[in-house]
Structure 1
Amino acid sequence: MSDKQENHKESIDFGYQQVAREQKKGLVANVFSSVAAKYDVMNDLMSFGIHRLWKRYTIDCSGVRKGMKVLDIAGGTGDLTEQFSRRVGPEGEVVLADINDAMLKVGRDKLRDRGVIGNVRYVQADAEELPFDDNTFDVITIAFGLRNVTDKAKALGSMQRVLKPGGRLLILEFSKPIAPVLNQAYDFYSFNVLPKMGQLVANDADSYQYLAESIRMHPDQETLKQMMADAGYDNIDYQNLTGGIVALHRGYKF
C-alpha cells in the first residue's frame, strides 16, 4: 500500500483494535496520561532494567558531542535527554519533545530534581508536525515512541525536514524477535504477565495490554528500514538488541 493510500484510510490500528484515524492520538494520549506517574518504575520492572542498556547503546551510537543540538522526540521522562544534556555541554542544546503533557511534566520535574537545567528545553510537540525550522538539529532520537504515532511516514518526513544535512536519526523501538522460540516466550510474557503487572503496580491493566498490542502492530526491522529510505534517509542500518526484541535503526540526511 502506498503512503498516499495509507494516509487516506479511514481507520487505523490502536493495538489490535481498528479506530478512526482522528481518534488515535486522543486514545494514545489517554494511555500515557494514565501511566505517566509510574512510567519509570514500570519500565524497570517490564524490562528487568535492560531498557537502560538499550538507551545507553543508543546514546553511544548517536555520535553526540559538545555544542550539538539534539531533539529527543517522545522523550517522556527524560532518560536520553539527561545523558545528551551532559554530552552537548553548556554550548549545546537538547530539546525534550513529547506530545503528551503529563509525560512532559514528569520528565521536566525529574530532570530539574537531578540538576539538569540550562541547556534543556521542553516542548509539547507532535512528531508528525514538528514546530521547528528546517535543518535545525544535528541528531534526532525517538525511543519507544514511533509505534504510537498515527502516521509514521509523515513523522519520519517531519524529522528528516528538521535534521541538518549530515545529521542522523536514531529510532529505538520494540521489534520482531529473530528466534521463533524467543518470539513465543515474548508473546507469553507480553500478554500474560505485562497486563497483570500493570494492574498491580499502576492500577491499569488496559494501558499495558495496549502497549503489548502496539508492539506487535509496529513494522518489523526491514519494513521500518524501507520506510526510512522512502522518507529520504541514507546509509540506513539497524542492530538487533536482545535477540530482536528491540532494534536500533539509524539513518542520515545528506
Structure 2
Amino acid sequence: MSERRTSADGGMETSYGFREVGNGEKQSLVNDVFHKVAKRYDIMNDMMSMGLHRVWKDAMISALNPKKESGYRVLDVAGGTGDIAFRIVEASGRLAHVTVLDINASMLGVGEERAASKKLSDNLTFVEANAESLPFEDASFDAYTIAFGIRNVPRIDVALSEAYRVLKRGGRLLVLEFSEVEIAGLDKIYDAWSFNAIPRFGKAITGDAEPYQYLVESIRKFPNQENFAAMIQKAGFSRVNYTNYTGGIAALHSGWKL
C-alpha cells in the first residue's frame, strides 16, 4: 500500500487513488465515482469522518463569518449537494447569494432538490462546470469555498489560480479537506478505519466498494498541510494559514486576495 503524498509541485493530475492513470483520464473516473455516490453523499461523509464532517463544516462557516448583506456573493465549488451553501445562506440571515458549482450533474440534482425542500432556492444558483475553467468574470465573488472537493480536481494548481481570478480584492479562499494526521497513534487508528471499514460499509450500503476505496486512497495522496499551503501561496494568495481539526484528520486552509 503506497501512501506517498504528492508534493507542492503537484502530482494529483494522474493519481486516481494509489493508481497512476494517463493525462486526461482522471476526471472521467472521478465523475463516475460521484455519479455512483450522489444519493448517499452525506452517508459517505459520515462514514469517512465518523460524523465529524458536520462539526468541521460548521467551523468552516464560523471562520468565513458571512456578511449579512444582500450583495454578498459566494462561490461554493464541488458543493453540488448544497451542504456548505445552505450553511452560508443561513449564517447570512438568508441574505447572501451562493453559486453552487459542480462538474457532476448527479450531485447538483441532489442539491437542487434539497434547496427546494428547504425553501432556499432564491438564494442559490446551481452551475454545472469545471473548477479548472470557471465560467465567471474576474473579481465576481466575495468568497470562494470548497469542502472535501479539491483533492478530486486533477489540476489543483489551475483550480487555485481560477479561484484567485474570480475573487474580488479583499476576497477570501477557504478550503476544507482531509489531511495528514499529526497525532501519534491516531494515524494508525484512522488508517485501520479507512482502509478496512469504509470500503466494506460502502459496499453494504451501495453494493460497490470501489468508489470508497478511491476516496480513502485519494486522501493519502493529497499534499499535506504545509505543501498545500505552499500551493495556495503560489497561486497568489496572501496571509495563508491552516487550522487542523481532530488532530489533522481534516484541515481548513485560508487565503486572501489582497
**1:180 match:** 184
Identity between Structure 1 and Structure 2 (%): 44
Structure 2 CA distance for aligned equivalents of residues 77 and 225 of structure 1: 26
SS in 2 for 1:219: coil
After superposition, residues 1-254 of structure 1 pair within 5 angstroms as: 12-67=14-69, 68-89=72-93, 91-254=95-258
How far the C-alpha of 1:202 sits from its partner, in A, is 1.7
Bigger helix fraction = 1
**2:3 match:** none
Runs of 4+ in structure 1 off by over 4 angstroms are none
**Contact 2:47 2:198 (8 Å CA) reproduced:** no
Q: Deviations over 1:215-253 (max 9, x none)?
A: 000000000000001000000110000000000000000
**Contact 1:137 1:163 (8 Å CA) reproduced:** yes
How far the C-alpha of 1:43 sits from its partner, in A, is 1.9
Structure 1 CA distance for aligned equivalents of residues 104 and 116 of structure 2: 18
**2:4 match:** none
Structure 1 CA distance for aligned equivalents of residues 23 and 53 of structure 2: 30
Aligned residues: 250
How far the C-alpha of 1:76 sits from its partner, in A, is 2.4
Quick one: which amino acid aligns to residue 39 of structure 1?
Y
SS in 2 for 1:169: strand
TM-score, normalized by length of structure 1? 0.94
**Contact 2:242 2:254 (8 Å CA) reproduced:** yes
Structure 2 CA distance for aligned equivalents of residues 145 and 35 of structure 1: 14
Structure 2 CA distance for aligned equivalents of residues 173 and 77 of structure 1: 16
Quick one: which amino acid aligns to residue 173 of structure 1?
E
**Contact 1:138 1:164 (8 Å CA) reproduced:** yes
**Contact 2:79 2:102 (8 Å CA) reproduced:** yes
Quick one: which amino acid aligns to residue 33 of structure 1?
H
How far the C-alpha of 1:46 sits from its partner, in A, is 3.3
How far the C-alpha of 1:121 sits from its partner, in A, is 0.3
How far the C-alpha of 1:203 sits from its partner, in A, is 1.4
Structure 2, unaligned runs of 5 or more = 1-6
How far the C-alpha of 1:86 sits from its partner, in A, is 2.3
Structure 1 CA distance for aligned equivalents of residues 44 and 233 of structure 2: 33
Q: Deviations over 1:47-73 (max 9, x none)?
A: 232111000000000121122100110
Quick one: which amino acid aligns to residue 242 of structure 1?
T
How far the C-alpha of 1:90 sits from its partner, in A, is 5.7
Q: Which of 1 and 2 has higher RCO (CA within 8 Å, sep 6+)?
A: 2
How big is the alpha-carbon RMSD for the aligned residues of Structure 1 and Structure 2?
1.7
How far the C-alpha of 1:87 sits from its partner, in A, is 3.3
**Contact 1:42 1:201 (8 Å CA) reproduced:** no
Quick one: which amino acid aligns to residue 225 of structure 1?
A
**Contact 2:88 2:96 (8 Å CA) reproduced:** no
How far the C-alpha of 1:115 sits from its partner, in A, is 1.3
Q: Deviations over 1:58-98 (max 9, x none)?
A: 00001211221001100021111111122345653110111
How far the C-alpha of 1:2 sits from its partner, in A, is 8.6
Structure 1, unaligned runs of 5 or more = none
Structure 2 CA distance for aligned equivalents of residues 204 and 110 of structure 1: 25
